[in-house]
Chains A and B, each alone.
Chain A
């Protein structure tokens, strides 16, 4: 059974870089054609797509975050990662990793991690 698990620091200082990793279990990232995604949700607010990475490494990002976002994949560890630089309090959110229901598309996420709460504060 496919499972996703986010991990990383729960507290990041303003202007620093937020780093999260999503570990995939139950399936191999490299043997599929999925776009693995990152989505976030500020407390009490709605969902925002951050970006996605194809298992072979190509990425797409939300233009509102492009200059600060790096998404990468490590197939040897069956993980993909998110880095968000120059964070502010507005980046405080629950960060989810997720996989779409079908290969080759960037939405309709049917497998989600439990979410990682990241607070930006000094």
Chain B
């Protein structure tokens, strides 16, 4: 099973700042099948990025994903008020698909 470790656990930033979230895998993610989700309290997760760098339908271009192999990054170029949430990465290149433990982006 591939273990995904997200860092930092919490990111305290102000609106307009840049957010950089990391997801490290315990072994290489096949075909870079790595997704990023955003989750707000009481809501289902929302897919932001698939295949490490492809934005999902309707996702603003301030969200971008990068990386390959065992290291992946989600970047939010300029934080909007609605971006403060918990973010999860997920690998689906090998079974079982696994999620990271999450990074909370909070308002500073």
Contacts and interface: CB of A to CB of B under 8 A. Distances in A.
B72 interface: no
A112 B99 contact: no
Interface in A54-112: 60-64, 96, 98, 100-102, 105-110, 112
Per DSSP, chain A at the interface is loop
Interface string B70-103: 0000000000000000001011110111111110
Per DSSP, chain B at the interface is loop
A108 B92 contact: yes
Q: What band does the interface of chain B fall in when counting residues whose beta carbon is under 8 Å from A?
A: 20 to 34
A23 B22 CA distance: 35
A49 B93 CA distance: 13
Contacts of A106: 92, 95, 97
Contact of A48 (B35, B45, B57, B99): B99
A14 interface: no
Q: What band does the interface of chain A fall in when counting residues whose beta carbon is under 8 Å from B?
A: 20 to 34
Contact of B96 (A62, A96, A98, A108): A62
Interface of A: 46-49, 60-64, 96, 98, 100-102, 105-110, 112-115
